Each structure stands twice: as structure tokens, then as C-alpha cells.
């Protein structure tokens, strides 16, 4: 069972799979922050109890991502649900899109995990 003093971040947390993950963490008692690009969708999710707070941020903007993380971190759990997709088998996915997704995961890892997890020497993440 989560604890109110344990914080979780879910990127892409206002819709779909990210929303479901955020709801599950909230139900377990975690203090959840969601990130996404749509302020209205994020506000609605917070109002509906999906998370305690949200940040409208484009996670490809490293400065904006770091600023948002600084406002609501440190986190004990980070779920990276942000990315891009195309409707194709993975083997047929364009290399530039796959590279973008891996680069994005690294950016979120650096902003949301490195400052906190290493200092505490523990944490959980999913990318």
C-alpha cells in the first residue's frame, strides 16, 4: 500500500493507459502528479481524483520538464508514459521515431529520476 508521503509521477497521465496507472497509484494512497500537454484535460483529471496535481508540459522541452519536476518532486515512483507511436509492427517502425522515443525516455530519466533516486539510493521507474 502506498503512503501519502510517497510521490509518484506519471507522464502522459491524463488519458488512456497513463490515466489508468495514475488512478491505480492514487487508489493505493500515493501522492500522484500527472504531466501532459493539454491543460484542460489535466485539470479535468485532477478534478476527477486521478491525481493531486498536474503540470501542462511538453516533455520534449527539457527546461520546462526540469522546472515542473522541481516544483512537485522528489518522486519515489516515475512512470514514463509519454511518447509517440505509429500503427506498425515494431520491426517496421521508422528508426527516427524509435530513436525519438528512446531519447525522450532519457530526458525524463535525467530530469525526474537522477536528482532524487540517486540521492536516496532507491526508487522505482517504468519506461
| Domain hosting residue 89, numbered range | 7-126
- Decide if 44 contacts 86 (C-beta within 8 A): no
Identify whether 13 is preceded by a cis peptide bond (ω within 30 of 0): no
> What pLDDT does residue 121 have?
57
Judge whether 30 lies within some domain: yes
Q: Which of 2-6, 44-48, 113-117 has the lowest mean pLDDT?
A: 113-117
pTM, two decimals, is 0.74
Query: Is-contact 1 10, C-beta < 8 A?
Result: no
Task: Residue 37: give its domain's CATH number.
Answer: 3.40.50.720
Residue 71 belongs to a domain: yes
Domains held by the chain: number? 1
Task: Tell me, yes or no, whether 1 lies in a domain.
Answer: no
Residue 63 in any domain: the answer is yes
Structure confidence at residue 96 (pLDDT): 63
| Straight-line distance from the first to the last Cα atom of the chain, in angstroms, rounded to the nearest whole number | 22
100 within a domain of the structure (yes/no): yes
Other Cβ atoms closer than 10 A to 124:
13
Q: Taking the mean position of all CA atoms in its chain, how far away is CA 76? A: 12
Alpha carbons 1 and 19: distance in angstroms, whole number: 19
Give the per-residue pLDDT at 72.
Answer: 85
Bridge-based pairing state of the strands 31-36 and 7-11: parallel
Give the mean model confidence (pLDDT) for residues 82-107. Answer: 61
d(CA 89, CA 87): 7
- Residue 42 domain-assigned? yes
Confidence of residue 31 (pLDDT cuts 50, 70, 90): very high
Tell me whether residue 2 is in a domain: no
Q: Please, which pLDDT band fits residue 49 given cuts at 50, 70 and 90?
A: very high
- Higher local confidence (pLDDT), 27 or 61: 27
The verdict on residue 54 lying in a domain is: yes
Sheet containing strand 77-79, edge to edge, reads 53-56, 31-36, 7-11, 77-79, 124-126
Amino acid at each position: 500500500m502506498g503512503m501519502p508521503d510517497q510521490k509518484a509521477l506519471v507522464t502522459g497521465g491524463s488519458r488512456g493507459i497513463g490515466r489508468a496507472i495514475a488512478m491505480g497509484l492514487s487508489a493505493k494512497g500515493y501522492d500522484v502528479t500527472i504531466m501532459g500537454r493539454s491543460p484542460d484535460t489535466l485539470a479535468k483529471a485532477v478534478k476527477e481524483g486521478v491525481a493531486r496535481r498536474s503540470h501542462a508540459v511538453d516533455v520534449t522541452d527539457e527546461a520546462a520538464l526540469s522546472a515542473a519536476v522541481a516544483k512537485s518532486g522528489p518522486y519515489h515512483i516515475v512512470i514514463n508514459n509519454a511518447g509517440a507511436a505509429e500503427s506498425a509492427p515494431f520491426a517496421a517502425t521508422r528508426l527516427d521515431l524509435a530513436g525519438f522515443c528512446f531519447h525522450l525516455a532519457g530526458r525524463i530519466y535525467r530530469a525526474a529520476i537522477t536528482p532524487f533516486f540517486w540521492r536516496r539510493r532507491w526508487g522505482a521507474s517504468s519506461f
